[in-house]
Structure 1
Amino acid sequence: MPEMVGGERVETKILMLMVIFAVVFPLVLNRPLHKIGAQKLKALGMNRFNYDGEPVLTAGGLILVCSSAITGIVLIGLLLLRGVNSELLLHGFLFLTGMITMAFWGWHDDRASDRDAKGFRGHFGVLWRERRMTSGMWKLIGGTSTAFCLTLSLSNTLWAGFVAFGLLALCPNIINLFDLRPGRAIKVFWCLTALAGAFGLWTIGASAAMANWIFLIPVFMASMFMFPHDVGGKIMLGDTGANALGFAAGFSFVIGTPIYIQVSMLVLFLCLQVAAEFCSFSRVIEQVGWLRRLDQWGRATEAENKKNQTGSSGLV
């Protein structure tokens, strides 16, 4: 919870001003960043074939990260201008550092050409058989190292640090596991952050929960603007976007929920990670009616508009 700055009234005023900036800046940045970002991705040859064999731009999460990072820097600048020296400022620095770094490792994987290895078993298998580091293995090492370094500043006990490390390291990969169909990863991100927000309101109160969400609002807004492009099969989030959204979701649990909620989510993520090595989430979603309807939400309308073409936001 942020420290009081000149009393409750001043702190509330600052927080409300930050909320306005967190909502307005992504709105203003959306169109120019998307136009410039799409042009740059095309120039860099960031085209991939989706699960349906259609060519789609990948690494579109770069646009989302740029929007969130610019807005986050503005929010930190606002705090510094107002002379706020609190836990909220520390969380802002850590959040931006972690999100940008995680996105960098995802970008490295998006740019790579060695895309044959899948899952932990695939990447470790290549390392064992060929003594070769895949881009996915570099992403794994970079992501876990980033999570470990951030955990040192976020937690003051060994147990809390272990749980926070697990959430920050695993959540980006969980989002990436679902990034196989149009809009699916963003929907999972929304569900996870909604859970974190609900648990935060229930356990730590509205004012503290709002403070914890200040730096997450720009990411949420940017994901809303990215959703039509993603679900329409026009651009994929890629590992760049999946890593950024996954880190944001994990961070929301670490700073905004009690330890028993964090432990429960960590166990859930571990179970999902193990399950992903042995079964297809896409097949499970297709077999469960309500999951299939949720997965298709938004995509069906876009498919009708495109007449027989279905896009995707992920690779097989």
Structure 2
Amino acid sequence: MVAGAGAAAARYLLREVRSAPVGPQLERTNFRGRTVTLAAGPALAAGAAGAGALGAPSVPAGAAALVAGVGAGAVGLYDDVVGARPEQKAAKGFAGHLAALREGRVTAGLVKVVGVGAAGLGAAALLAADPAVRAHRHRQGQGVVGRTVDVLLGAGVVAGTANLVNLLDLRPGRAVKSGLLLGAPLTRGAHGGIAAGAVGAAAGLLDADLDERVMVGDSGANALGALLGVGLAARCGPVGRAAALAVLAGLTAASERVSFTQVIARTPGLRELDELGRRRD
């Protein structure tokens, strides 16, 4: 039910955003020169966040889903719009944004990084107030320092997952497929409804993404990843969160040196999965 609500909400919002006065301003040219719309980004962010909150087991967990999805989606949309300006395109990757900052320039990408981090921190703090999470932490006998570290680790997982899904958004359907694969195992358990809402919203837009009619952009990819990060953080203790964060940090660091697109193209299985359902002409 939650997944279905997410799919319906994302499709409805896509139509609304496309037909709104701002719709033409969200049109872009993709890697093959086709005109697509970024309207799928805010549609996915809002649909996934709303459905994820609906499927959350408590008010604090629902608030965490809203903060993560809407917050990450909003700063992602800012980067989609402002980051497309010519003066913004020179800064690539985290190192590029820091280099621009040293020159006195605040890039849209840096705003996104800080904003996603803030959304992750807010979501992790709210998640810590969830009764199930609090009971688990109480049984572990965590003190103030332990709870603070746990929240920081949770924030890192939320922000890191948002960034990972965004890094994969370089070909039609890739970010959405990645979100579906990452999110499917997270749809079980007490907090599974959060991931189910995100997975449903993503699935609802997959066909349009593969057909190159829409693009989820940073807004949709960041929101999808952030919500999956909330679902992951909710089911992990400090050790699990630290392990997940280490993997996410390693993949992020690797992305600065290698092209994920080239790795996927050279890897049997991954290559076929990546191309599955994508238009050929």
What TM-score, normalized by structure 2, do the two folds share? 0.84
Corresponding residue for 1:139? 112
Percentage of pairs with the same residue: 27
Query: Aligned pair 1:150/2:123, yes or no?
Result: yes
Equivalent of 2:30, from 24, 40, 50? Answer: 50
User: Are the counterparts in 2 of residues 219 and 245 from structure 1 also a CA contact under 8 Å?
Assistant: yes
Instruction: Structure 2: give runs of 5+ residues left out of the alignment.
Output: 129-145
Structure 1 position 41, deviation (Å) = 7.6
Corresponding residue for 1:226? 205
Query: Aligned pair 1:294/2:264, yes or no?
Result: no
Equivalent AA in structure 2 for residue 91 of structure 1: A
Structure 1 residues 23 and 184 mapped into 2: Cα distance closer, same or farther (>3 Å)? Answer: closer
Corresponding residue for 1:214? 193
Structure 1 position 153, deviation (Å) = 3.3
What secondary structure sits across from 1:298 in the alignment? coil
CA distance in 2, matches of 1:287, 1:95: 36
- CA offsets 1:159-183 (integer angstroms, 9 cap, x no match): 3223212111211111111000011
Corresponding residue for 2:72? 102
CA distance in 1, matches of 2:21, 2:45: 14
Give the 5 Å matches for 1:1-316. Answer: 20=1, 22-29=2-9, 31-40=11-20, 43-71=23-51, 88-112=58-82, 113=85, 114-129=88-103, 131-155=104-128, 157-197=147-187, 209=189, 211-299=190-278, 302-303=279-280, 308=281
Aligned-residue CA RMSD (Å): 2.3
CA distance in 1, matches of 2:7, 2:248: 32
Aligned pairs, number: 260
Structure 1 residues 133 and 212 mapped into 2: Cα distance closer, same or farther (>3 Å)? Answer: same
Structure 1 position 31, deviation (Å) = 4.5
- Structure with bigger gyration radius: 1
User: Are the counterparts in 2 of residues 59 and 239 from structure 1 also a CA contact under 8 Å?
Assistant: no
What secondary structure sits across from 2:19 in the alignment? helix
User: Are the counterparts in 1 of residues 10 and 47 from structure 2 also a CA contact under 8 Å?
Assistant: yes
CA distance in 1, matches of 2:267, 2:55: 42
Tell me whether 155-164 or 225-234 shows the greater mean CA deviation.
155-164
CA distance in 1, matches of 2:185, 2:6: 23
What TM-score, normalized by structure 1, do the two folds share? 0.75
Structure 1 position 75, deviation (Å) = 6.0
Structure 1 residues 292 and 214 mapped into 2: Cα distance closer, same or farther (>3 Å)? Answer: same
What secondary structure sits across from 1:289 in the alignment? coil
Equivalent AA in structure 2 for residue 273 of structure 1: T
Equivalent AA in structure 1 for residue 266 of structure 2: Q
Structure 1 residues 137 and 193 mapped into 2: Cα distance closer, same or farther (>3 Å)? Answer: same
Structure 1 position 105, deviation (Å) = 0.5
User: Are the counterparts in 1 of residues 64 and 230 from structure 2 also a CA contact under 8 Å?
Assistant: no
What secondary structure sits across from 2:258 in the alignment? coil
- CA offsets 1:19-65 (integer angstroms, 9 cap, x no match): x3x24433544553332222238634112222223222125121122
Structure 1 position 239, deviation (Å) = 0.7
User: Are the counterparts in 2 of residues 117 and 123 from structure 1 also a CA contact under 8 Å?
Assistant: yes
Tell me whether 232-241 or 145-154 shows the greater mean CA deviation.
145-154
